[in-house]
Structure 1
């Protein structure tokens, strides 16, 4: 017999949904706690025109606050900050249409590049180093940062509207959105040229659109029902097209959808199998198939834009590389042969390897004794100085043809300094500035060919290529590894050599051979002539899109799994919820200013407290219900096990998987989970100030499901005061525009946070 319909049951404070008369009186019997990942929704609005106006005004106010916090001093610093090194560079490559390789999908990067193109950025500036000046290089960096700031601002009203659609009071909406609006970590991450602003707003949009969709469950297959289901799928596609951790948002919504379909399959719904199949197909197509094709579409555009050879070539197969035309770099990249005279440039400092006929002093200022060998340094200015010229020689000279013998990455070789006619060498003597590192020097040809021959042997260690590939100027990034002592040639510009070395950069042997600071390039071949000097464009072939996409996917996941090396600011997930540490983004030594990525700590602690409170409430409710003692109203349990549990499950899905990941992890990976925890915490906080007891458990005059408005608003104001005060307190290290005294720096070193300039 068909079940009866049209009985109504409250699931919010004023919202209703259709239920079956055959349902159990006890809500816990009808909802599985583990799988009830869907919001308490309704098909009717509960706010009248007056309250709707209040919500609108409040949303505008909190959005304005978010705008101010993200756009305040957005022009400062006018230098490259933290990972702007990477994502600004990728925008340059898009504009120049040169191929590059990155671990993340292209959507957010193309968005940055599109803004750059709109404002006239030509892509010549490559964001090489933290601290590079935007002003000196005439870079329109403010519009690029404004993209992130706009997206970060719009995330806040999406949170507000999500809580409103879940039927929470205006103060709960303000609290939940304010936790993100005044969070220092969200502000720092969403006002720079980074991907996370796009990721976070896509997560917020996915949750909001799905909530809107579930409110239409009693009006299936209508225009609005399809609209919000489609928008949910589009938002999910934006998440996964920005970073692959977006798959966690897919799981969050997917679990809710699976539970919803499971409930629809129940015979009590009265749906036929054909009707249920229609529900399943609609969700499958609009939440999986369409988002996947949108995701593929970004890669199609990615390949269509990047048609020229570039720095990412070396990662790809030879077949893939044949689909790329020659870039400016390709025109300048020349194959290197043995006996070529070359110049060698340090990747990080843009300095040229140099030597001159002056020796290290017998004693340094600290009393250490040197080898008194010929100085090897690095210089900024080139000026066609023969002191920067080096001849690359094979390990053993033979009687065969000296020309046309290409140098391969991975080869062992020797370097002869042309100006002083000696061999480059490093040995177990402490360098001038780093006692733990080895000194570099130049020795005579006679000595290098006899008893010190082995000390003159170096080996190319490819960074972005493969062993046995031919070494090229400009394009091949390599390390110079010393064969006998296994150190890497390194230079630095933080401290310069004294007057006896003309204040040039020190060159030494670094034992940390995997560091990217050891990277060099062969800048050019001196006096190149003949056929090698000519540029011959290569023919461009075609490769099917899916083959290119599959090859790139495989490489992206492979290299992502290799990101397991240690980093001074990496952190583990167990430290994230309490914001135990942070990340240094930028420093200015002269002004003693810094940008340090850290959250609004009281807000993060509040989220942890609400998770604990929710756990206690659920345990208490389960214990009492198990003894047939039912204290909470059905409406309260609906909020507890539907809305609250949906937000909590989404939070846990975005957080717990990081414990299983072996790659480098940083605090910014927690931001999507933090956003979901903010929604959860605000909803639980309102629950605490609501009379959730059944009528028989209420005292005289009390009404079930009523909010203690005065007490609740008072505590919300208190929380907002704490959040804003804490935000202002940490603002100097969020914006980096204030010089702090050592005492002021130390006062901000909460938990395990280690800031610069504390002495």
Structure 2
């Protein structure tokens, strides 16, 4: 069997096998007991190959039971390399994992979120909940009780099993390596290319470093790898549609799409890769005139069920579990709707008086997605009127309180007279009891929304004017419909129209600069869009001793409404994470700096007494994989030009395989990288880590295509190229191992790490 034939096998034979010995490698249908192998380029029953191929092999019976350990190893030789790589991965991921006995980098966030789950306190974050629930489960398995605050840089107390938690989290990083091996096998790469891909995943110090802490990134990477693996496995089942394996790997891919998207929304990028593959696959089936309409519909239905419905159900299930666990009031309450909060343990909304009256003290919740509470404080605007600031704030304090007060020309509230209920079209003043000032607007541009009027607090109990008047407009009531007479707390949706100017009180989606404490801008909107949710408000907390408490049965919030509300709030808050022009973020980096590793990221303090971790990739892996992307595109252009001139460089099946692996690698890289180029939010180098995987696959694919597969090279040459690449990866990993395993003492004592002047390893910041 030639090297070229062996390279085309879906499952490569082990180095110890000989040409005369039978090959007991396993395929999807059984065992091969001859040397014929399975051709990855072949495809049966498809007129035009698409992303590539997996061929049909004759069904073979099982091999005879092994009579010795040697036969057992020989029959399972295909699994020996990934087992060895998995053990090596355990060593690299677990070595010195507890060396830093303090909270490192984003452990401060995700460890804290895990604590909230263990204490069942509701919190808010911009990421979906699955990864953080896994962090909490890891803490539960480790014996952690949720009592530590995870303050950045703080030393772990003895009762926090941080080493056990890090080890369990590192298992996701461990499993990346065998997944990379098996994915390379499914892509039809030769054994040399499979080894190199596995080595690069094993020995990249960025992947290694990010896997050793209590973070979400190891889970994001793991589920990205499993999604790609599932896609390649499903692709190799295409010739036996609707078999058990076909259904299993299709559902496996969909399930992992749901998981990766439930860890971070970046998972939608690998979802897009699966989507493009599916579109092309179905388009080719649509052109197959031998396929009946019924079969076409079955193919469509299977993709919809497994790649759309199943991921959505997994994603929604993570939020359902999130809401079920976090049943107590916590720091993230204000991001949710008032009705949702009313059902949290520890919230006293059920004691709210139901009907709002003049003299009631209340808080007003903006009903835009993730909207906060109407807020004011003693600080003034540095621009515009320089009056007292009015904002939206997501945390509860006394500066969120307002009192319903009559107009200046009306008598004050008589606490011993008849109760006057608040109704539609009433003209009121909103008094801020903490400062005594009135909610006010005037013809002054808002600080951010220049086309809107500024909203401020002005005057006191005796000083004010007609610009303090607001008309209460009822939009509807969740329980009672559109036509209501009295305003209820929690359920009635309101708008506040400025009587003099005709504009509407509205919360922006942007935060103010540092002088506004990054709180949400509130302005008076001149456009009067009745569908704008950010001009809707409801009464959240409500205090009035003259009124009876409401009924809890009126305060039910449906899951789908809460699910949608939280997701929009997450995306809105994520988009609001924009770089602050007034403050330099030394950790941030731009996407164009990532492929050639322009800079790294300090994950902790850089003092001489700190164990220091620097998020930096193995240079040859990052640089080589990036160059391979350009080489891959260039090679494709050259091949297409030569085809146009009627040159034949490859057989059709080889050409299909070249395109298939190239599409998976390049489109996967592009779909993960390009969105960051148009994002307004702040970005960091760890955002490139899922993208790197596809560049590594491209590098392995091109080395296979140009060196390991062609017959023009002798085995000696191929082994020399393989050995040089492997030794280079191993050598650079060993040189930079300290940035992932921890650097002790003065950083300047560790010479030789500054391969690029832009790396801030030695700078004192």
TM-score range, shorter chain: 0.5 to 0.7
Q: Give the match for residue 662 of structure 1.
A: 680
The residue aligned with 1:469 is 400
1:103-148 Cα shifts (integer Å, max 9, x gaps): 1111111011011122221111121x22111135x21112221232
Aligned residue for 2:725?
719
Structure 1 residue 325 and structure 2 residue 331: aligned?
Answer: no
Taking the TM superposition and a 5 Å limit, the aligned residue runs for 1:474-485 are none
Select which of 142, 146, 154 maps to 1:132: 154
Q: Deviations over 1:246-282 (max 9, x none)?
A: 11111101111111111111234x1111111011101
User: Retained in 2: the 8 A contact 1:39–1:646?
Assistant: no
Q: Which runs of 5+ in 1 are unaligned?
A: 1-9, 24-29, 332-400, 415-454, 472-477, 479-485, 487-510, 518-530, 693-702
- Rounded Cα–Cα distance in structure 2 between residues aligned with 1:124 and 1:232: 37
Does the 8 A contact of 1:162 with 1:207 survive in 2? yes
What residue in structure 2 maps to residue 311 of structure 1? 331
What is residue 736 of structure 1 aligned with on the other side? 742
CA offset at residue 591 of structure 1? 1.8
Equivalent residues of 1:325, 1:538 under 8 A apart: no
Shift of 1:662: 1.0
Find 2:647's aligned residue among 603, 606, 629: 629
Q: 2:42 aligns to what SS in structure 1?
A: strand
Task: Spell out, residue by residue over 1:335-371, the C-alpha distance to the aligned partner (whole angstroms, 9 max, x if none).
Answer: xxxxxxxxxxxxxxxxxxxxxxxxxxxxxxxxxxxxx
Return the offset for 1:616.
2.4
2:306 to 275, 283, 286: 286
2:274 to 232, 246, 253: 253
Equivalent-residue separation in structure 1 for 2:607 and 2:518 (angstroms): 22
SS in 1 for 2:267: helix
Report the Cα distance in structure 1 between the residues aligned to 2:120 and 2:166, rounded to whole angstroms. Answer: 22
Contact 1:39 1:211 in 2 (8 A): no
8 A Cα contact 1:15 1:44, kept in partner = no
Looking at structure 2, the residues matched to 96 and 52 of structure 1 have their Cα atoms a distance apart, in angstroms, of 50
How many pairs does the alignment contain? 559
Is contact 2:254–2:311 with CA below 8 Å preserved after alignment? yes
Instruction: Kindly report which structure 2 residues correspond to 1:152-231, keeping only aligned pairs within 5 A, or say none.
Output: 152-231=173-252
1:317: how far off?
2.3
Counterpart in the other structure of 1:121: 144
Q: Which residue of structure 2 lines up, in the alignment, with residue 674 of structure 1?
A: 692
CA contact (8 A) 2:110 2:132 kept: yes
1:14 pairs, out of 22, 39, 58, with 39
The 8 Å contact of residues 112 and 149 in structure 2, kept in 1 or not, is answered as: yes
Q: CA contact under 8 A between 2:173 and 2:222: conserved in structure 1? A: yes
Residues 539 and 733 of structure 1: is their aligned pair in 2 closer, same or farther, counting only changes over 3 Å? farther
SS of alignment partner, residue 244 of structure 1: coil
Asked whether the 8 Å contact 1:325–1:539 carries over to 2, the reply is no
- Shift in Å at residue 67 of structure 1? 1.5
**Pick from 743, 749, 760: which aligns with 1:754?**
760
Q: Where does residue 545 of structure 1 map in the other structure? A: 559
Whole-angstrom CA distance in 2 between matches of 1:411 and 1:255: 49
| Aligned match of 1:598 | 616
Structure 2 equivalent of residue 103 of structure 1: 126
Alignment of 1:27-46 (within 5 A): 36=50, 38-44=51-57
* C-alpha distance after superposition, 1:632-655 (max 9, x if no partner): 233431221112222221121111
1:142 matched to 2:156: no
CA distance in structure 1 between the aligned counterparts of 2:308 and 2:377, rounded to whole angstroms: 52
1:588 is displaced (CA, Å) by: 5.3
Deviates more, 1:248-257 or 1:708-717: 708-717
State the secondary structure of the residue aligned to 1:17.
coil
What's the secondary structure of 1:121's corresponding residue?
Answer: coil
Provide closer, same or farther for how the CA distance between residues 717 and 739 of structure 1 changes in structure 2, counting only shifts above 3 A: farther
Residue 39 of structure 1 and its aligned partner are, at CA, apart by: 3.6
Query: Do the aligned partners of 1:644 and 1:683 also contact (CA within 8 Å) in 2?
Result: yes
Which residue does the alignment assign to 1:645? 663
Contact 1:564 1:664 in 2 (8 A): yes
Please report how far the alpha carbon of residue 587 of structure 1 lies from its aligned counterpart in structure 2 after TM superposition: 2.0
Match of 2:472 in 1: none
Per-residue deviation at 1:514?
Answer: 6.9
Task: Give the counterpart of 2:631 among 610, 613, 633.
Answer: 613
Mapped contact 2:41–2:657 kept (Cα < 8 A): no
Q: CA deviation at 1:42?
A: 2.3
On the 8 A contact 1:596/1:733 being kept in 2, the answer is yes
Aligned twin of 1:239: 260
- 2:76 corresponds to 1:58: no
Specify whether residues 746 and 169 from structure 1 end up closer, same or farther in structure 2 by C-alpha distance, changes over 3 A only: closer
Once the two structures are TM-superposed, the CA of residue 54 in structure 1 deviates from its matched residue by: 4.3
- TM-score, L = length of structure 2: 0.67
Q: Which residue of 1 aligns with 2:103?
A: 80
1:516/1:591 CA distance change after superposition, 3 Å = farther
Q: CA deviation at 1:756?
A: 5.1
Relative distance call for 1:747 and 1:537 in structure 2 (3 A) is farther
Pair 1:187–1:459, CA change in 2 (3 A): same
RMSD over aligned CA atoms reads 3.7
Per-residue deviation, 1:237: 0.7
Tell me the secondary structure at the aligned position of residue 605 of structure 2: strand
Verify the 8 A CA contact 2:259 2:315 in the aligned structure 1: yes
Q: 1:710 to 1:749 in 2, by over 3 A?
A: closer
Residue of structure 2 in register with 1:347 after alignment: none
Distance 1:266 1:460, change over 3 A: closer
Query: 2:59 & 2:174 partners in 1: Cα distance?
Result: 27
Q: Following the alignment from structure 1 to structure 2, what is the Cα–Cα distance between the partners of residues 578 and 537?
A: 62
Q: C-alpha separation between the residues in 2 aligned to 1:722 and 1:203?
A: 27
3-state SS of the aligned residue for 1:558? helix
**C-alpha displacement of 1:458:** 9.2
C-alpha distance in 2 between matches for 1:304 and 1:552: 14
The answer to whether the 8 A contact 2:220-2:264 is kept is yes
Residues 212 and 537 of structure 1: is their aligned pair in 2 closer, same or farther, counting only changes over 3 Å?
same
For each residue in 1:554-573, what CA deviation from the matched residue of structure 2 results, as whole angstroms up to 9, or x when unmatched?
11111111011243221111
The structure-2 alpha-carbon separation of the partners of 1:43 and 1:554, relative to structure 1 and needing over 3 Å to count, comes to same
Q: Is the 8 A contact 1:326 1:537 kept in 2?
A: no
Contact 1:58 1:170 in 2 (8 A): no
Output the CA distance in 1 between the equivalents of 2:75 and 2:194: 13
How far off its partner does 1:731 sit?
2.1
Query: What is the CA-CA distance between 1:716 and the residue it aligns to?
Result: 2.2
Q: CA deviation at 1:583?
A: 1.3
Q: Give the whole-Å Cα distance in 2 for the aligned partners of 1:406 and 1:219.
A: 62
Q: 1:629 to 1:588 in 2, by over 3 A?
A: closer
Pair 686,708 (structure 1): closer, same or farther in 2 beyond 3 Å = farther
Residues 708 and 234 from structure 1, CA distance in 2 versus in 1: closer, same or farther, beyond 3 angstroms? farther
